[in-house]
């Protein structure tokens, strides 16, 4: 049974207690099986084709080669066993440059990669609309995944290649730095900007929004090595336990 509403995001202070309760009801699962990717593809298609961001409709082309790259991790977020959001998290290094951010902002990122910097590049964020209304913080709870990845891989920055209109959200929540843009990429109907949140800002983020906190065990289960052929398993967020242990 889906409740009428779970939690309220309080932008002035921290996520409310109800939002922590909402996080407790979510599970993360890395996509492994064809069925996982099929369900995620359908959610992407609904989300992307409903918005006038791309010049073309995605149709059946919503699962890409990058989704199967060993340095990319595709996740589904589940509420009461129902897929409610998805995101792809890619590790960007001098040896692995095939990500959306480098496609759009390669002139900025490639020199930094040449210097040995590493990044986490989240992409293909898609939310089931009805659950956005039920869980106001669902996008933030989904974006926990790249935040955890940034710490797990000790990356220098967590990138956000987003439409210009979303810049304020990332500046407010993550206190990101504007790295490039606005720029109108080929194939898109909107101007994009590139933002970066430094790993050095992690403690500040966790202090303001403790829902981003996590235990090492959660990070290992999400991003540790395992065969893609194995049976997928769900990972429960550990933010509440991490805060208690701090």
Whether the Cβ atoms of residue 22 and residue 135 lie closer than 8 Å to each other: yes
The rounded distance, in Å, linking the Cα atoms of 120 and 108 is 15
Over residues 9-61, the pLDDT tens digits come to: 444 444 457 678 778 889 999 999 999 999 999 999 888 876 655 545 556 66
- Residue 53: the pLDDT is 56
Burial grade of 80 (CB within 10 A; 0-12, 13-18, 19 or more): exposed
Kindly tell me if the per-residue pLDDT of 225 is higher than 90.
Answer: no
pTM: 0.88
- Residue 245: the pLDDT is 84
Whether the Cβ atoms of residue 159 and residue 121 lie closer than 8 Å to each other: yes
User: Residue written as tokens 């303001």?
Assistant: 208
- 186 or 72: which carries more pLDDT confidence? 72
User: Residue written as tokens 């893609």?
Assistant: 228
Homologous superfamily in CATH for domain 17-245: Gcn5-related N-acetyltransferase (GNAT) (3.40.630.30)
Over residues 93-138, the pLDDT tens digits come to: 999 998 999 999 999 999 999 999 999 999 999 999 888 778 778 9
Mean pLDDT of 210-218: 93
Whether the Cβ atoms of residue 214 and residue 223 lie closer than 8 Å to each other: no
Residues contacting 67, CB < 8 A, separation 6+ = 31, 37, 74, 88
Q: Which helix (H) or strand (E) holds 169?
A: helix 167-174
Whether the Cβ atoms of residue 162 and residue 192 lie closer than 8 Å to each other: yes
The rounded distance, in Å, linking the Cα atoms of 145 and 138 is 12
- 50 or 78: which carries more pLDDT confidence? 78
- Residue 9: the pLDDT is 46
Kindly tell me if the per-residue pLDDT of 230 is higher than 70.
Answer: no
- Residue 169: the pLDDT is 92
**Average pLDDT of the chain, as a whole number:** 85
Q: CA of 237: how far to CAs of 27, 54, 66, 216, in Å?
A: 7, 32, 26, 11
Give the model's confidence band at 4: pLDDT under 50 very low, under 70 low, under 90 confident, else very high: very low
Task: Give the neighbor-by-neighbor strand order of the sheet with 157-163.
Answer: 177-183, 192-198, 157-163, 119-127, 82-92, 72-79, 26-30, 234-235
What are the sequence ranges of the domains in the chain? 17-245
Over residues 156-192, the pLDDT tens digits come to: 999 999 988 989 999 999 999 999 988 887 776 778 8
């Amino acid at each position: 049974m889906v409740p009428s509403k779970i939690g309220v995001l309080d932008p002035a202070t921290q996520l409310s207690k109800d939002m922590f309760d909402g996080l407790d009801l979510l599970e993360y699962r890395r996509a492994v099986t064809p069925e996982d990717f099929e369900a995620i593809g359908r959610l992407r298609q609904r989300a992307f084709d409903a918005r006038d961001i791309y010049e073309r409709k995605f149709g059946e082309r919503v699962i890409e080669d990058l989704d199967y790259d060993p340095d990319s991790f595709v996740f589904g977020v589940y509420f009461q066993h129902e897929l409610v959001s998805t995101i792809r998290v890619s590790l960007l290094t001098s040896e692995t440059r095939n990500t959306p951010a480098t496609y759009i902002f390669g002139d900025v990122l490639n020199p930094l990669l040449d210097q040995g910097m590493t990044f986490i590049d989240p992409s293909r964020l898609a939310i089931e609309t009805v659950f956005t209304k039920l869980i106001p913080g669902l996008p933030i709870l989904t974006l926990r995944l790249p935040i955890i990845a940034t710490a797990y891989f000790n990356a220098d920055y967590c990138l956000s290649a987003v439409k210009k209109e979303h810049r304020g959200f990332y500046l407010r929540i993550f206190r990101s730095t504007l790295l490039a843009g606005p720029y109108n990429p080929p194939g898109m109907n909107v101007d994009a900007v590139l933002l970066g949140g430094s790993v050095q800002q992690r403690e500040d983020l966790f202090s303001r929004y403790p829902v981003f906190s996590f235990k090492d065990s959660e990070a290992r289960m999400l991003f540790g090595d395992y065969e893609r052929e194995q049976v997928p398993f769900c990972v429960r967020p550990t933010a509440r336990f991490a805060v208690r242990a701090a």
